[in-house]
Amino acid sequence: MIFLNRAAIENMISLEEVMDSVEDAFLAYENNNFEMPDRIHVNNKENTLLYMPCFTNEIFGTKSLTIFPKNSQIGKPVIDGFMTLNDPNTGEPLAMIDGKTLTELRTGAVGGVGAKHLSERNSSTLGLIGAGVQGFQQILFISKVRPIKKVKIYGSNIEKLKDFSSRLKKKIDIEVVICGSAEEVLEGTDIVITATSSENPVLPNKAGLLKGKTFIGIGSYKPTMREFPKEIYSLLDRIYTDTYFAKEESGDLCYPLSEGLIKEEQIHTIGSFMSNKEKKIDETVFFKSVGMALLDIYVAKTIYEKAVGLNIGQKINI
């Protein structure tokens, strides 16, 4: 068995390769080439253990994460854990992959793939609400698929925004504007990402400000969490998601469905959009991602195969 930590993964794989794997996963989702049991939550006090198994014909595995919200107060990652990959014929473990890095990469890649298929080709200004780990990745990935020159960021903590900005500018050549409000973020942006843990809308409830942009919603993975205001739904013909479960998992879909603001038939997967030959992009676009184990297993498989080919990774004598 090999162990692949952050350094091994990041030195080996490009963001483009991660996005290719995510696209493969979206197409496999349409073709039903997998078995993905419901993700399993175990709660203990304020903490959660998450087990996300997934089986394909070629490999299977489980992403096992710990989610400790109070870790953010002591500067430790909230999400930790591993993806285990197993031989589909014998169950024997093949690899363990750092779950933090895998989750960051695949979530970033989902945004990147979303922007690639659902935003205007010449989009150059990006907005971001929520200056956390996921927001950072979103910018890196989207910058690979669109000619992004400027990013406008907003969050509740100015010190975090400043740190985010300086880290981002060290990583890629980009202009970063720290905004005083979400409204300011919307001014002149082509693509807007929300990546918060908010339970209430983080964007202004003003159709005029929301119109004509591509929105990518990364937070709101529970019915109690919401990032998007009512008015956005009046602008949408179609809503894109990564999985059909998103309708039950995300407050940004449960809420407008229960309020009658959208109809279920307006919701389509990005995989179905990608499979469709006619790819007309609507004026205002909303892509809501909740993630799924199928994305993890596809990205993990790519990482594992590359590591084997390059003889990278710590050998574990099991």
Q: What residue ranges bind a copy of itself (CB under 8 A)? A: 3, 5, 35, 37, 40, 42, 44, 47, 49, 51, 53, 55, 60, 62, 64, 66-68, 71, 74, 76, 80-82, 84, 86, 90-93, 98, 314, 316-318
141 closest CA partner among 292, 303, 23? 23
In the bound state with a copy of itself, the residue whose beta carbon lies nearer, of 81 and 229, is 81
- For 67-123, where are the alpha helices, taking DSSP H only? 99-118
In the bound state with a copy of itself, the residue whose beta carbon lies nearer, of 99 and 155, is 99
- Asked whether 211 and 237 are in contact (CB, 8 A), the reply is no
In the bound state with a copy of itself, the residue whose beta carbon lies nearer, of 82 and 273, is 82
CB of 151 to a copy of itself, least distance (A): 31
CB of 100 to a copy of itself, least distance (A): 9
In the bound state with a copy of itself, the residue whose beta carbon lies nearer, of 40 and 308, is 40
Q: Is 283 helix (H, G, I), strand (E, B) or coil?
A: coil
Amino acid at the residue 23? E
How far apart CA 250 and CA 153 sit, in angstroms, is 23
In the bound state with a copy of itself, the residue whose beta carbon lies nearer, of 4 and 139, is 4
CB of 248 to a copy of itself, least distance (A): 20
Question: What phi and psi values does residue 228 have, to the nearest 5 degrees?
Answer: -105, 140
Q: Is 1 helix (H, G, I), strand (E, B) or coil?
A: coil
CB of 305 to a copy of itself, least distance (A): 20
How far apart CA 261 and CA 170 sit, in angstroms, is 42
138 closest CA partner among 67, 209, 191? 191
CB of 289 to a copy of itself, least distance (A): 24
